[in-house]
Amino acid sequence: MPNTKPVGVAYSDPELVSGTTITGAVISGGPVSGTTVTAAGDLYVASATVAATGSTQANAAQLAGGFTLVSAADGTKGVKLPEAAAGRVVILKNGAAAILKVWPSSGDAINAITADSNYVLASNTSSILIAYDSTTWYSVPLLAS
């Protein structure tokens, strides 16, 4: 049933309140927020292929959230994470036969490495990166730093 009520700046829909269950919905174009998001069935995330570029934070290939298969890593090229936001997830697969430099966004840090410094993802391996807050990413598995 479509919502036909006008929406204003301070509007709250009494028909869609905390604890409401929504089924069959497709959500796109924005974040889903709340204390707990529960879904029955499969989990789908954005998927992309990106070629590693540059050798610094400023010229590394920009990533989005979701899963990214990275090609063209040659031991000097890299990718740059999006800005950290608590709970943001990036899944990386280094599909190349050389190491990949993974840079945080400007002012951010990965694991215990100094802000604006890269960490290295070994060839043909994967890592999940999760933002703890607005400036800190942690890798899973937690790589030595």
Instruction: Identify the CATH number of the domain in which residue 123 sits.
Output: 2.60.120.640
Which phi and psi angles does 35 have, rounded to 5°?
Answer: -70, -45
- What's this model's pTM, rounded to 2 decimal places? 0.75
Task: Domain count for the chain, please give it.
Answer: 1
Residues across the chain: 145
Domain region containing 128: 47-140
The answer to whether position 79 is within a domain reads: yes
The answer to whether position 31 is within a domain reads: no
The answer to whether position 51 is within a domain reads: yes
Q: What pLDDT does residue 63 have?
A: 97
d(CA 110, CA 118): 7
The residue type of 126 is S
The residue type of 38 is T
Please calculate the CA angle 19-20-24 and round it to the nearest 5 degrees: 135
Closest CA relative to residue 22, chosen from 8, 37, 12, 7: 37
The answer to whether position 29 is within a domain reads: no
Q: What pLDDT does residue 120 have?
A: 94
The answer to whether position 15 is within a domain reads: no
d(CA 52, CA 133): 26
Closest CA relative to residue 118, chosen from 139, 100, 133, 103: 103
Q: What pLDDT does residue 125 have?
A: 95
The residue type of 107 is G
d(CA 84, CA 64): 11
pLDDT digit string (tens) for 36-79? 777 777 878 899 999 999 999 999 999 998 999 999 999 999 99
Closest CA relative to residue 52, chosen from 64, 61, 40, 62: 61
The answer to whether position 100 is within a domain reads: yes
